Amino acid sequence: MSSASFLRVAMRARPLAFLRSPATTRWAPVASSSLGSNTFSTSARRAADKDPHDPHHEESFEEFTARYEKEFDGVQDVFELQRNLNNAFAYDLVPSPSVITAALRAARRVNDFPTAVRVFEGIKAKVENRSQYDEYLKELEPIREELGIILKEVMYPEQQ
């Protein structure tokens, strides 16, 4: 007899009486009422039923923006800044100008000029067309001037 068929037979066999405790000499079936009539839900959850702390909760754009503004406000080092930027740009959306502003202020706080320039490269890669990128530049012009951030296009015009 092969070892696989021996294991199948061993699994089907009833346990020996001396291995069972004396109080449980009989196996009683579990009553179906104790499990409940419907243990699995077959209906989808409504949007109003979703808990924002549920891991499957789909976050709205406003919640995303508020979460990343808070994350960037708490940045204390370059690693944390770059990790938050990677996470923010990993979504299938372009972060709002307020999130970008918080990221640029965090880059200034940790004194990381190259990452501040790279933020604009990330925006350029995420937007659908040049006009959207120009709108972001126009919206973020005051913070760029305040922090002295120069765009890569301005620093290296021949690479266009």
Who wins on pLDDT, 74 or 8? 74
Looking at the domain assignment, is residue 49 inside a domain?
A: no
Distance CA 35, CA 84 (A): 45
Tell me: the pLDDT tens digits for 96-131?
999 999 999 999 999 999 999 999 999 999 999 999
Looking at the domain assignment, is residue 16 inside a domain?
A: no
Distance CA 57, CA 76 (A): 29
The answer to whether residue 159 scores a pLDDT higher than 70 is: no
Distance in angstroms between the alpha carbons of the first and the last residue of the chain = 75
Cβ atoms within 10 Å, residue 126: 17
Looking at the domain assignment, is residue 8 inside a domain?
A: no
Looking at the domain assignment, is residue 151 inside a domain?
A: yes
Looking at the domain assignment, is residue 12 inside a domain?
A: no
Instruction: Say what the pTM is.
Output: 0.64
- E strand or H helix at 31, and its extent? none
Q: What is the residue type of 142?
A: P
DSSP state of 91: S
Spatial CA neighbour of 95 closest among 140, 131, 51: 140
Are 160 and 153 in contact, with CB atoms under 8 Å apart?
yes
Q: What is the residue type of 13?
A: A
* Domain that residue 149 falls in: 62-159
- The domain total for the chain is 1
Question: What local confidence, expressed as pLDDT, does residue 54 receive?
Answer: 66
Who wins on pLDDT, 40 or 89? 89
Looking at the domain assignment, is residue 112 inside a domain?
A: yes
Tell me: the pLDDT tens digits for 44-96?
444 555 555 666 778 888 999 999 999 999 999 999 999 999 999 998 889 99
Looking at the domain assignment, is residue 26 inside a domain?
A: no
**Domain CATH for 104:** 1.25.40.40
Q: Is 160 helix (H, G, I), strand (E, B) or coil?
A: coil
Are 57 and 50 in contact, with CB atoms under 8 Å apart?
yes
